[in-house]
Chains A and B, each alone.
Chain A
Amino acid sequence: MSPLDGFSLSRWWSLVLKEFLQLRRDRLTFAMIVGIPIVQLALFGYAINTDPKHMPTAIIGADHSEMTRTMIATMKTSGYFDIVGELPDEEAGRAALARGEVQFVLNIPAGFTRRVLRGERPALLVEADATDPMATGMALASVNQLARSVATKDLTGPLAFLAGGQAPFEVRVHRLYNPEGITRYNIVPGLMGVILTMTMVLMTGLAITRERERGTMENLLAMPAKPIEVMTGKIVPYIAIGLIQSTIIILAARFAFRVPFAGSAVTLYLAVLLFVAANLTVGITMSSLAQSQLQAMQMTMFYFLPNILLSGFMFPFQGMPAWARFIGNLLPLTYFNRLTRGIFLKGNGWWDLWPDIWPLMVFTVVVMAIAVTFYRRTLD
């Protein structure tokens, strides 16, 4: 017997129609069908850049001459480097790199030009925050080429002899934090935030909508429990789950992936707690808005997508266009990625981490306020 025996076209068509009818009424699903491809196209098409340019670069300039100016100008025109300022000394340069304020520091030593003219082949030092090898790779590959072109441009006339053969100065590159440029070192700490975002938002969202969907919320609200007790009682288990997840990731990073751990575990756990809090507030807000578990799930996906693409997890943050960075700056994962990478690879302490801590605090407080306003104390 063929499976088509007794197949009724009209019955089949009614099934198709019913599906369309239901789909049309389910606005959120409909929005996702249309919205997700658009969002993904926009993000992958425009924001994502595998040849990231315009990386913030600071200069420690102890020598000002025509030649250093040309060098700086050439770096600018290459498109890879955006000169964002001058720093007084190497220490300030390291601090700026640690905080992630700049991606590169160009260090021009005192007497550089004079030594070039004497034919001593001095070195320019480029220090790079190589946490994310993808962010620095292309730029660093280009600097030696840039140096040679400076030489041919500037060293003319009586100095032309310096332009021939070897470059008259060398560019020494220091890849800090991840000297071998191992991608894993960058990805694994980043994964921590990605996993926490996914599970924390989804699980709190589901936990609360589940009660509503099954009708048990009515029972819970009819009992003497206060709303704050219900809310926090539901959240605490997920904080514990977040800590367990983090521990698993930290252990895996350390022992399975051999990611160096330069910072303090206490600092890392405190950062995790803050980030978990930020995500739980998002989950609570979503659960107040979602009518069903399915909707909570869809909202989570919607929230997850920009988080994973625009937070600097997948693609170098500084290499994204301004609008993408603007969105990224609104997402807690952006800051948490910097925190974990900073703690794992750079060994950052509180002072260095502060620029990424306060935005998380602000985010948590603001979203918590939203959650409280949307929270339904009653069944209305």
Chain B
Amino acid sequence: MSDEYAIDVRGLNKHFGDKHVVKDVGLQVRRGEIFGFLGPNGSGKTTTIRMLCGLLKPDAGSGTCLGYDIRRDSARIKRHVGYMTQKFSYWDDLTIRENLDFVARMYGMPDRLEAVDRTLKGLGLMERANQMTGALSGGWKQRLALAACKLHDPELLLLDEPTAGVDPGARRDFWEELHRLSAAGISVLVSTHYMDEAERCHKLAYIAYGSLLAQGTSQEVIAAQGLITWAIYGGNLAGLSETLQKLPGVEQTVLFGAMLHVSGRDGDLLERTLRATAAGAAFRMEKVDTNLEDVFIYKMKQSADQNGIGT
């Protein structure tokens, strides 16, 4: 029994038919940590999370969740984990209050009505408590789902893309709430596609094609790639990007609106190429810190090449 880790799993594998969807994934999430889980669509994030809370049986691998064995103790894990599914999974044909009340009953909460009222107040949905849940907008459904999965005071939250479709204001509130929970000792594993959210996590894991490609703090993940990045502004960036891609030292170009990121591992070679090609009045360029997005795009391409899948 480890007290240090909220999640400590190794060698998780899952097949669907002959599709190997999760390959040897290991995750170590410390208690009280906010752990970001990133990866492209279909990379196996949801599948991994489902294995953590006992909804899927791993084909291989073992480990603990809150100190309970993920294979044998899934009943106990469920009691102490709050899982928010990627797809909204509360009952559209129950009212908001009825949904929360049902959840509270399922977890056998002693002060059920109070907990429901508290949650409704926190959401600001007190006036709409008796509305059908199906009538809520997409973003509000997300907020309700999040509140519902915290209702039973879990020690670990597994959140599968909790902020997809949520407006920026609500997203900021949500992340502030997560940090409050984390400060109170609650551990959080959150999957997301937003880089700004990734940067708010204490630690990150990046998964692509079912394999874990990186794990650590965002600085560690970035540093591990050893990428040098230049930002270029002005002129025809799309055309420049295409030209640069074929030149020596340039391993990746990423267009961010009015700015082009050009990265490579060989800093000197990259700089020489850039000075030869893009120097001039039309473009302005500077050396910048490689950001997470650069790294993830780089990793994804790498693993796509390894998996023989063209991008």
Contacts and interface: CB of A to CB of B under 8 A. Distances in A.
Interface of A: 214-216, 218-219, 221-226, 378-380
Interface residues of B, number: 22
A226 B106 CA distance: 10
A215 B78 contact: no
A143 B54 CA distance: 71
A215 B90 CA distance: 8
Contacts of A379: 50, 55-56
Given A221-B55, A223-B78, A224-B79, A215 B107 contact: no
A214 B92 contact: yes
Contacts, number: 48
A378 B57 CA distance: 8
Contact of B106 (A215, A216, A225, A378): A225
12 contacts: A214-B91, A215-B89, A216-B89, A219-B83, A219-B90, A222-B53, A222-B54, A222-B81, A224-B106, A224-B108, A378-B55, A379-B56
Interface string B9-50: 000000000000000000000000000000000000000001
B240 interface: no
B88 A222 contact: no
Nearest to A229: B106
A356 B55 CA distance: 42
Contacts of A221: 55
A219 B56 contact: no
A222 B83 contact: yes
A208 to B, nearest CB: 14
A17 to B, nearest CB: 28
A175 B57 CA distance: 63
A216 B55 contact: no
Given A223-B78, A224-B78, A380 B57 contact: yes
A378 B89 contact: no
Interface in B61-96: 75, 78-79, 81, 83, 85, 87-92
A378 B55 CA distance: 5
Nearest to B78: A224
A23 to B, nearest CB: 24
Given A224-B107, A378-B57, A379-B56, A219 B85 contact: yes
Interface string B89-114: 11110000000000100111000000
B296 to A, nearest CB: 27
Contact of B55 (A222, A224, A225): A222
A333 to B, nearest CB: 32
A125 B287 CA distance: 112
A216 B53 contact: no
Nearest to A221: B55
Nearest to B54: A378
A2 B108 CA distance: 64
Interface secondary structure of B, over-half rule: loop
Given A216-B89, A222-B55, A225-B106, 6 more contacts: A214-B91, A215-B85, A219-B85, A222-B54, A222-B85, A379-B55
A216 B91 CA distance: 7
A221 B89 CA distance: 11
A225 B103 CA distance: 10
Given A223-B78, A224-B79, A378-B54, A218 B106 contact: no
B158 to A, nearest CB: 9
Contacts of B53: 222
Nearest to A379: B55
A219 B79 CA distance: 13
B271 to A, nearest CB: 51
A216 B57 contact: no
Shortest Cβ-Cβ A-B pairs, 10 listed = A219-B89, A222-B83, A223-B106, A215-B87, A215-B89, A224-B78, A224-B79, A216-B89, A379-B55, A218-B85
A219 B94 CA distance: 15
B75 A224 contact: yes
Contact of A222 (B57, B78, B92): B78
A219 B54 CA distance: 12
A218 B89 contact: yes
Nearest to B102: A223
B78 A216 contact: no
Interface string B245-257: 0000000000000
A249 B92 CA distance: 33
A218 B54 CA distance: 11
A380 B56 contact: yes
Contacts of A224: 75, 78-79, 106-108
B142 to A, nearest CB: 14
Which one of A218, A219, A221, A223 has the greatest number of beta carbons of chain B within 10 Å? A219
Nearest to A226: B75
A223 B54 CA distance: 10
Nearest to B14: A380
A108 B108 CA distance: 73
Contacts of A214: 89, 91-92
B129 to A, nearest CB: 20
Contacts of B88: 215
B10 to A, nearest CB: 20
A72 B214 CA distance: 91
Contacts of B87: 215, 218
Nearest to A225: B106
B13 to A, nearest CB: 13
Given A224-B75, A224-B107, A218 B55 contact: yes
Contacts of B92: 214
Contacts of B103: 223
A215 B108 CA distance: 23
A330 B45 CA distance: 46
A11 to B, nearest CB: 31
